[in-house]
Amino acid sequence: MNTYLFSWNPDKWPWPEIEEDSLLLKKDGKVQERWICVSHKKVKPGDRAFVSRVGSEPRGIFASGFIASEPFLALSRKGKEIYHVMIEFDGLINPDKSPILTLELLNIGAFAKQLWTPQSSGISIKKELIEELEALWLDFLSQEG
């Protein structure tokens, strides 16, 4: 299983139902969203996904899940066909209402080797960081409730 970092810029791609999706995930345990994926030649269903908020503050990881589909072509908001995947979330925080795993925490120690605010969505996370990232994310989620 590989692990990928997807990006979300709320200034460019609004997600007006993020609060509803977060509550739905807590209630039903299932929320899926379509996401642009530059690693479409490598990504597979079952691979791990983390999503980082880029652009305006707060910036950092606010969601995690698993790839739930093969990559597929779909129209972007600009009308161009680009590859997407479905992500089935297992963790989703509304960054405008709750704390997220910020860049300050993500740029400490070995984590500083990874770009956490990529321009492209769906980049690989360095293999040597995955286990520690999973532990940090789980610890963060348990502290935040």
Buried b (16+ CB within 10 A) or exposed e, 24-59: ebeeeeebebebbbbbbeebeeebbbbbbbbeeeeb
Tens digits of pLDDT across the chain (145 residues): 899 999 999 998 899 999 999 999 999 888 999 999 988 889 999 999 999 999 999 999 999 999 999 999 998 877 889 999 999 999 999 999 999 999 999 999 999 999 999 988 999 999 999 999 999 999 999 987 6
CATH code 3.10.590 for 3-144: yes
Q: Give the global pTM.
A: 0.94
